[in-house]
Amino acid sequence: MNPNTDYMEIMNSVRSKTFTFFEEIADIFTFIQVIIKETFSRDFEFKEFFYQCFQIGYKTLPLIAITGTIMGLVLTIQSRPVLADFGAVSMLPGMIAVSLIREMGPVITALICAGKIGSGIGAELSSMKVTEQIDAMELSSTNPIRYLVVTRILAATLMLPVLVLYADLLGILGSWAGANIKGDVTFILFFSQAFSHVGFIDFIPAFIKTFLFGAVIGFVGSYKGYHAGKGTASVGEAAHSSVVQASLLIIIVDMIAVQITDMFI
């Protein structure tokens, strides 16, 4: 076998891969550009936007409630013995509140939402694409980016902070329940102890990044759905890659956000 042709084959495959990689980057930027343009266009689709807020926000509340409560409970049960070793059990409420608000609440809620909301958007839009519903919409003088994509991204961006706040609160409630398994403390006392350690500096950066997480989930789901290939198999593919890539991006955005916050504190 000629080693030279082997090399050429590898080079060709690398070249076509890098080419599609750059093509995809260009595609993503075009998509972002169109979305921004349509977001600020005159006829905003308010009805669809509110409907999406309901779908994305309200319908995810039960899931977030369960996750948040268990997160707080488990975190408390796990860290209590360690704090007891240091004789610092009184620090428990504050420590839980700070770790929930700064990190656990936003990231875990966002990852769960990447699973539920991201895959939902990816699957819905890709099936609309595959069955020509998006084409049909374009022909009936409705801009599908404005109607489908902008509304979903904005709804996800605005609803995620709400879901995170909800998870934080229920997490502290769960933590109080965990603290009550061993020991006896009133909710009011636990709550005031918890929040005596939380400052704006814990809250604000964490709150800001939840908007970014929401935008990431909405954008990745929409991009994957809107760029689905042909055939029903691409619906599954779009839903799957929405979850994977949104989750990965959330972790990366979180890391960058933490670095930036760290520089200013």
Partner 1 sequence: MEEVPINHMKTKPHNRKVVIEIKLLKKSFGDQEVLKEISLDLYDGENLVILGKSGSGKSVLIKCIVGLLNADSGIIRILGQNIPDLQSKELSLIREKIGFLFQSGALYDSMTVRENLEFPLRKKKDIFTKEQVDKKVLEALNHVGLTDELDKMPAQLSGGMRKRVSLARTIVTNPLIMLYDEPTTGLDPVTSEEISMLINDVQKKYKTSSIIITHDIKCALLTADRIIMLKDGEIYKEGAPENFENSSDAYAKSFFK
- The piece of 137-145, 150-158, 197-205, 247-255 that touches partner 1 (CB under 8 A) is 137-145
Distance (Å, rounded) from C-alpha 221 to C-alpha 55? 15
- The piece of 109-117, 123-131, 182-190, 194-202 that touches partner 1 (CB under 8 A) is 123-131
Among 87, 141, 231, 259, interactor with partner 1 by CB under 8 A: 141
Query: Is residue 140 part of the contact set for partner 1 (CB under 8 A)?
Result: yes
Amino acid at position 222, single letter:
S
Query: Is residue 139 part of the contact set for partner 1 (CB under 8 A)?
Result: yes
Nearer to partner 1, 47 or 182 (CB): 47
Amino acid at position 92, single letter:
L
- The piece of 101-109, 126-134, 213-221, 257-265 that touches partner 1 (CB under 8 A) is 126-134
Distance (Å, rounded) from C-alpha 107 to C-alpha 112? 9
Query: What is the per-residue DSSP string for 22-72?
Result: HHHHHHHHHHHHHHHHHHTSSS--HHHHHHHHHHHTGGGHHHHHHHHHHHH
Q: Which of residues 181-200 bind partner 1 (CB under 8 A)?
A: none
Amino acid at position 216, single letter:
V
Nearer to partner 1, 103 or 138 (CB): 138
Among 28, 63, 116, 133, interactor with partner 1 by CB under 8 A: 133
Q: What is the largest CA-CA distance in the chain?
A: 79
Among 49, 63, 138, 237, interactor with partner 1 by CB under 8 A: 138
Cα 57 to Cα 140, 150, 253, distances in angstroms? 29, 16, 21
What is the smallest separation between the CB atom of 142 and partner 1, expressed in angstroms?
A: 7
Distance of CA 237 to the CA centre of its chain: 19
- The piece of 130-138, 152-160, 180-188, 239-247 that touches partner 1 (CB under 8 A) is 130-138
CA atoms within 13 A on the CB side of 90: 2
Number of residues that make up the chain = 265
- The piece of 19-27, 121-129, 191-199, 208-216 that touches partner 1 (CB under 8 A) is 121-129
Nearer to partner 1, 55 or 180 (CB): 55
Nearer to partner 1, 64 or 228 (CB): 228
The distance in angstroms from the start CA to the end CA of the chain is 62
Query: Is residue 131 part of the contact set for partner 1 (CB under 8 A)?
Result: yes
8 A C-beta contact, residue 257 and residue 212: yes
Positions touching partner 1 (CB under 8 A) are: 124, 127-128, 131-133, 135-142
